[in-house]
Structure 1
Amino acid sequence: MSSWNMSRDCCLWDGVICDEMTGHVIELDLGCSRLVGKIDANSSLFQLSHLQRLNLSWNEFHGSHISPEFGRFLSLTHLDLYNSNFSGQIPSEISHLSNLHSLRLSGTGRLRLVAHDFKLLLQNLTQLRELDLTFINISSTIPLNFSSHLTTLNLGFSGLYGIIPESIFHLPNLETLDLSYNYKLNGYFPKTKWNSSASLILLDLSGVNFSDNLPKSIGYLTSVHSLSLPNCNLRGPIPESLSNLTCIEHLYLQDNSLNGTIPSGMFSRLPSLSRLHLSNNHFSGELEDFKSNSLEEIILGGNQLQGQIPKSVQNLENLKGLDLSFNNFSGNVDISLFSNLKQLLGLSLSYNKISLINENKINFTWPESLTMLELAACEVKELKFLKSAKKLWLLDLSNNKIQGRIPDWAWSNWMSSLRDLNISHNMLTSVDSIPLQLLDTIDLRSNLLQGSLPIPSNSTKYFFISHNNLTGEIPSSICNLTSLRMLDLAKNNLKGAIPQCLGSITALQVLDMRHNNLSGNIPTTFINESSLSSLNLHGNKLEGKIPQSLTNCKQLEVLDLGDNHLNDTFPVWLGTLPKLKVLSLRLNKLHGPIRTSRIENMFPKLRIMDLSYNAFSGNLPSSLFQHLKAMRTTDPSMEASRYGGNSYYQDSIAVVSKGYEREVVKILFLYTTIDLSKNKFEGHIPTIMGDLIALRVLNISHNGLEGPIPSSLGSLSLVESLDLSSNHLVGEIPAQFASLTYLAVLNLSYNHLEGCIPQGNQFQTFENNSYEGNEGLRGFPVSKSCGTTYAVSGQLDGEESNSEFLSDFRKAALMGYGSGLCIGISIVYFMMSTWKPIWFARIIVKLEHKIMMGRRKKQRRQRNCRRRNNH
């Protein structure tokens, strides 16, 4: 528009076309014209009443709605507002443009179209050839009334749901169909020939749920050039008919449940195929030889393919990307296999059973184009074969056998290009410096590195060097890494103070320094703009108080300060952190009662709380338990979820579960725990603890608790480990505990409990050590019987009497097993009226249990026998 000159006829302006007879403006093409601002209803644009084509695509109309005045262009055949950043609701007046052949309104998610107007649009625009509503929020089912003239239909990312009408697949002139990434949309492929199969060139149904096999009818799409069906819940084998798609160039079937072998026709009978993506399925068997020179991308990672990598790979002269990672390929792979691939950009062979070798010891030259190389777990022992790779920006050599130090030539080669370096899980002994200016990520975890902590360049965002033998102090120069997002120094021998300035790095999301010898105080300088989501300082020698500036870290999810020398009271102010899920303060010198403030919503997301091995006192905090909202509700959809970490880093925490301490690397919602053991709590167990129904682990052992066990704990239906041992609890074990079907570990030992132990379900599996130290308990598995009490008034003298009794006892047991439980026990009880050894009462209940279990085994064997006979 800068070239428009008011002194010249507007029909001569760039982007303006007029009718030669009438002089009316009939076309206006202002695409990519850097237009900004709003288009109001009184804009002179709407005075162009003879306009037939209007293109305003790729401009910046931020904050501007699509005016209803657009409905006045009744002669319009082409309207293109693609990606011009309009927002708000699309006016229904657009449906007045009944002469439209092409309508492109797709944008960046700021536009919405109500379901009624969507149907009205399709009903009135009967001349449409092209309809593009990608990224328009429609949130509707798909109507049935599409124009039979349609050649292009793009409705991706539109929030569509329901079932795809099969009539769409039968539109006679359809060339492009894109319904991708409407995750609530379901579909069914036509089982016979599609009407559109002769014309369809592009079919993209990514993310649509089919839950079906690929039908043979897919072979009718003989004109298709691009077929995209990733993440569609497809299963079964690839039909042989797919080899009929001789025009296909791009085939995307990744992230499904397809199985069987990959048809040989994929590599021989599809002469135009350039991109083949079959990753993350269940394909097995060996790969056939590659016979098509058109292949540019072969992405087969994440399957169960086996055998050797075909040597015909070296003939794929146009290959740019090859991913065979996470399969079961085996044997030696000579690097010369890739010497002819002059256009290769990326190669991934990670996590197979192969050994990368240089058999002829040649001076191998990698393609100059190579930028990504992933060779994790490929038995790599040295780096010489990389001397010619000088433009790498991603290099993964993790889980190999590389020893010594990284040679100088490597740093020199990668200086100007490398952004992501992973040499973790090797045997490197030293890294003098990391002189890489563009590096985003460096991963040196699990090596044998010694000496002081190397500091990477200021541009580094992710720095992992845990599980090494680094010594010395952490230099304050690490705070120069102002772009740092994740810093993992865990499990080294670093000492001294934590630099205070680390709390001031705004971008820092993860700070992990657990299991070192760090001393002094925790930094007190955490700032308001902090992005910190995980802070792990477990297993150091930190002293002093927990800094209240942590309340500035509003994104904090994981806080582990366990196993230090912190001396403080309970930091109730941490309850204001809205996203905190994990809090571990175990093994410190924390003390005093746990008092809660009057804050309305405390610890709303907390799912793991470990305060064990401290000196907390007073009553258990009922007012705290009533706030733990995430522990008071269960959501089945969260069972498989996890939080903490990403593809580079996974949060970890020490959790005591089922009697054992374990380090949970991926913190699952499964581990919903409260551990208050080894403190000085007293008083009664609050009944409100029974409301924490999401708990999997509850440990309040080794305190001074008294009174009865509240029956409300029987409501913890998901609990797997329950430890109330070493307290002063009295009364009976609540009968409601028998309904805890997930309970795998129960410890009630060393209390003052009495009465009968509940029977049934999990209680049949617990041993004596669950109850020892409670002299008043009776029933299985302790020695005292529960029910009828038998007087013991004498003792057999000598081994002979005991042997005689045991002989008769075994006979009775065998009679009971053969005759039935009731008869056998009756015989034993009859014997008891005559023989009254003092130790008899201690084994009678065990006998009942063994006879019952033997009978059950016999019944199972009989059932299995009948099943085999029936088959």
Structure 2
Amino acid sequence: MTDNEEKNISKNNSFANGIVKTTLINSIASNLTELDLSSGKLQNLDENIEFPACLLHLNLSNNKLTEVPSNVLKLDNLKSLDFSFNSIVAFDDIPSFCHSIEKLNLSNNSLNGPPLWVWTEVPTNLIYLNISNNKDLCSTFTDSYLNELSQYKALVKEIDIHNCRLSKYVKLLASFCNTKVITLGHEEYEHRLVNNLSHLPCVGLEECTEVEVLDLTNTQLFHIYPNIDIYTNLKILNLSQNNLDSLPNEFCKLVKLETFIMSYNNLLYLPDNMSELTSLVTLRLDNNKLCMLPENLHEVPNLKILDLYNNNLYDGPSNLNLEEVDLAQNYFDEPDSEDYLLKKEKLRISYLNRENGRKVEVAEQSEHSRSISEEEELCDLATDKMTLDDQKDDRASSPEDWDSDDHWIPHSYKPATPPQSPWLYFVKKKMKEGNFCPMDAHATSIGDLVKYDRIYNPHLVHSLEGNSDNYSTDDDS
């Protein structure tokens, strides 16, 4: 299609009330293979519209469609269909393009269940399926329905199903036992939609042993089981932004692993047999709690990229032949050689706001030392109170002055640098003179005094006899 034809289509594509005009499609050349109707606020398509028979690629993303148009279902040769960012609720009808479709994107819709025909009809050419960000995808699941779906073995090679609240329904993944690329997580955390897995391998996913690329970012992982080595074909593994603090030794049996991303976890140490990862090229361990590295890390034969930014290491790695490396924000002096700086700059191309240099060590107080500090603080508070009680203001007043209108004007007292507001300063002045003592304006709060009393006299209940505030007037005595 020529540039002029494209401009004419764009010009004619004047959507009226979210409905595509029939003249638009009828004016398109009959040999058109690609059609983009995205971002047009479409609510539906005129059912009388006939798409070109040879149409291969159709983009209807970013519209307001609530169902799949019937004339789209009738397309025979469609290879890619993009329905992302609409409001489609269901896609269970078997389309004419069932066995010709290669890429299907249904992400960011309102699906109340997966497209059933993908399971029941087993499309022979479907390579990529994206049903991510459908918060109600599992809303219609029952145990029997889930068991039925998991019996089907989809031929999809790449599945993206992140942010679908799969927590109780991960058994669905068993139907993707032949899939090579599985995406269950995303770097943008959505706490209401995240797929909570807790451990790996998990039910369903333990049957996907053919997987080569596995993304479990932000899936609330806490533990990696020793049978992680069932993924013998795994090449790329992303476990970033989880709650992992260790890896089993069996992890190092993933001899085909080329890229391992473990950023933003609680990892304390690595397995001692890391040198068995003979295919490993990229190792990202930034923002963890590593305090030591295995001595044989330099024996990983193909390691080229190593990210150790922001850990708790006291010694850096040595004898490593790396192309990219970042050792900043650890407890050792970061190298300053030109070679290292160039390698760090190369690694940081896609990272922003990273700091340089050595991490500042902060001594942690023990529980015992903290409790002693709290006691000393309370002692100081009690001492301060007794000191304040003994002090008298230079300008004294009698109880009769309290009834004077002048004494109710805070600005009549103007200290050079009052630590409180004028009114609070005035009230505290009256307190020190013994004329007024509201409970919430003590120099030392009642709460602190009670806490002090409980610490030093835990088994006794002390009354405040003799120290209680006297609200009586001269007439009451």
Taking structure 2 as the reference length, the TM-score comes to: 0.59
Corresponding residue to 2:334 among 498, 508, 522: 522
Give me the whole-angstrom Cα distance separating, in 2, the residues matched to 1:293 and 1:269. Answer: 5
Alignment of 1:254-333 (within 5 A): 257-265=62-70, 268-279=73-84, 281=85, 283-292=86-95, 294-295=97-98, 296-297=101-102, 299-300=104-105, 302-318=107-123, 319-331=126-138
What code does the residue aligned with 1:288 have? F
Going from structure 1 to structure 2, the CA distance change for 1:467 and 1:840 (only over 3 Å counts) comes to closer
Report whether the alignment pairs 1:560 with 2:377: no
Is the CA contact 1:246–1:269 (under 8 Å) kept in the aligned structure 2? no
Contact 1:222–1:245 under 8 Å retained in 2: no
User: In structure 2, how many angstroms separate the alpha carbons of the residues matched to 1:842 and 1:216?
Assistant: 79
Specify the SS of the correspondent of 1:421. strand
Deviation at 1:391, TM superposition (A): 2.8
Mapping 1:358-507, distance limit 5 Å: 364=174, 366-368=176-178, 370-376=179-185, 377-381=194-198, 382-408=201-227, 410-411=228-229, 413-415=230-232, 417-424=233-240, 425-427=242-244, 429-432=246-249, 433-447=251-265, 449-452=267-270, 455=274, 457-466=277-286, 468-473=288-293, 475=295, 477-478=297-298, 480=300, 482-485=302-305, 487-490=306-309, 492-495=311-314, 497-502=315-320, 505=322, 507=323
> 1:346 corresponds to which residue?
158
Q: In structure 2, how many angstroms separate the alpha carbons of the residues matched to 1:268 and 1:556?
A: 44
Partners of 1:235 and 1:219 lie apart in 2 by 14
State the partner residue of 1:182: none
| 1:524-554: CA deviation from partner (whole Å, max 9, x where unpaired) | 5542894432689xxxxxxxxxxxxxxxxx9
Q: 2: CA distance between counterparts of 1:167 and 1:379?
A: 45
Q: Cα 1:366–1:352, aligned 2, differ >3 Å: closer, same or farther?
A: closer
CA–CA separation in structure 2 for the residues paired with 1:556 and 1:246: 46
Structure 1 residues 223 and 449, CA, compared in 2 at 3 Å: closer, same or farther?
Answer: same
RMSD: 4.7
| Aligned-partner Cα distance in 2 for 1:216–1:842 | 79
Call closer, same or farther: CA 1:522–1:403 in 2, change over 3 Å: closer
Q: Taking structure 1 as reference, are residues 556 and 169 closer, same or farther at Cα in structure 2, changes over 3 Å only?
A: closer
| Cα gap change, 1:276 to 1:448, in 2 (>3 Å) | same
Per the TM alignment, residue 236 of structure 1 is displaced from its structure 2 partner at its CA by 0.8
Distance 1:397 1:168, change over 3 A: closer
CA distance in 2, matches of 1:469, 1:167: 55
Q: 1:226 aligns with which of 33, 54, 58?
A: 33
Pair 168,240 (structure 1): closer, same or farther in 2 beyond 3 Å: closer
Contact 1:285 1:305 in 2 (8 A): yes
3-state secondary structure, aligned to 1:331: coil
**Residue in structure 2 matched with residue 639 of structure 1 by the alignment:** none
Q: Going by fraction, where is helix more abundant, 1 or 2?
A: 2
Equivalent residue for 2:387?
A: none
Distance 1:490 1:529 in 2: 14
3-state DSSP class of the match of 1:329?
coil
The residue correspondences of 1:710-789 to structure 2 (distance < 5 A) are none
User: Residue 264 of structure 1 contacts residue 288 of structure 1 at CA under 8 Å; is this kept in 2?
Assistant: no
* Residue correspondence of structure 1 range 593-608 to structure 2 within 5 A: none
Secondary structure in 2 matching 1:276: strand
Please give the residue correspondences for 1:149-188 in structure 2 after superposition, counting only pairs within 5 Å: 153=2, 165=4, 169=8, 187-188=10-11
Which amino acid is 2:326 matched to? L
Counterparts of 1:469 and 1:335, CA distance in 2: 41
Distance 1:191 1:472, change over 3 A: closer
Q: CA deviation at 1:324?
A: 0.8
Give the secondary structure class of the aligned counterpart of 2:166: strand
Alignment of 1:839-850 (within 5 A): 839=414
**DSSP-derived class of the 1:532 partner:** helix
Query: Equivalent residue of 2:253, what SS?
Result: coil
Deviation, 1:351, is 1.2
Aligned to 1:800: 403
8 A Cα contact 2:58 2:78, kept in partner: no
- SS of the counterpart of 2:87? strand
Q: Which runs of 5+ in 1 are unaligned?
A: 1-151, 154-163, 171-186, 193-211, 537-553, 566-586, 589-794, 810-835, 847-871
For 1:438, the aligned partner's letter is K
Q: Sort the Cα spacing of 1:842 and 1:446 in 2 relative to 1 into closer, same or farther, 3 A.
A: closer
Q: Check the 8 A contact 1:440/1:461 in 2, yes or no.
A: yes
The whole-number CA distance in structure 2 between the counterparts of 1:222 and 1:341 is 40
Q: Is the 8 A contact 1:394 1:418 kept in 2?
A: yes
Distance 1:188 1:287 in 2: 32
Distance in 2 between the 1:167 and 1:561 partners? Answer: 51
Q: Distance in 2 between matches of 1:490 and 1:303?
A: 34
Q: CA deviation at 1:389?
A: 2.8
Q: Contact 1:226–1:251 at 8 Å: present in 2 too? A: yes
Are residues 449 and 290 of structure 1, via their aligned partners in 2, closer, same or farther at CA, if it must alter by over 3 Å? farther
Distance 1:458 1:276 in 2: 40
Provide the C-alpha distance between the structure 1 equivalents of 2:223 and 2:163, rounded to a whole number of angstroms: 23
Separation in 1, partners of 2:266, 2:127: 36
Residue 766 of structure 1 is matched in structure 2 by none
Could you say which residue in structure 1 is the equivalent of 2:412? 837
Q: Give CA-to-partner distance per residue, 1:160-205, whole Å, 9 cap, x none.
A: xxxx6469759xxxxxxxxxxxxxxxx523669xxxxxxxxxxxxx
Larger relative contact order (Cα-Cα within 8 Å, sequence gap ≥ 6): 2
Tell me what 1:357 maps to.
169
| Between structures 1 and 2, the one with greater strand share | 1
Deviation by residue 1:371-390 (Cα, 9 ceiling, x = unmatched): 11122332335435344434
1:276 shift after superposition: 0.9
**Equivalent residue for 1:694?**
none
Deviations 1:75-110 (A, max 9, x none): xxxxxxxxxxxxxxxxxxxxxxxxxxxxxxxxxxxx
Match of 2:182, SS state, is strand
Alignment-derived partner of residue 134 in structure 1? none
CA deviations 1:477-501 (Å, max 9, x no partner) are 347455523x333555433x21244
Q: Decide whether the 8 Å contact of 2:154 with 2:175 is kept in 1.
A: no
Counting matched residue pairs gives: 358
Q: In structure 1, what is the Cα distance between the partners aligned to 2:91 and 2:56? A: 19
Cα distance in 2 for partners of 1:213, 1:286 equals: 19
Could you say what secondary structure the match of 2:138 adopts?
Answer: strand
> What's the CA shift string for 1:301-333, capped at 9, x where partnerless?
552424333444422421332101123234366
TM-score (norm 1): 0.35
Give the conservation status (yes or no) of the 8 Å contact 1:378–1:400.
yes
Instruction: Tell me if structure 2 keeps the 8 A contact 1:347–1:374.
Output: yes
2:34 and 2:279 mapped to 1: Cα distance?
Answer: 40
* CA 840–216 in structure 1, closer or farther in 2 if over 3 Å, else same: farther
Deviations 1:35-84 (A, max 9, x none): xxxxxxxxxxxxxxxxxxxxxxxxxxxxxxxxxxxxxxxxxxxxxxxxxx
The alpha-carbon deviation at position 284 of structure 1 amounts to 2.1
Q: What is the rounded CA distance, in whole Å, between the counterparts of 1:225 and 1:426 in structure 2?
A: 50
CA distance in 1, matches of 2:175, 2:21: 45
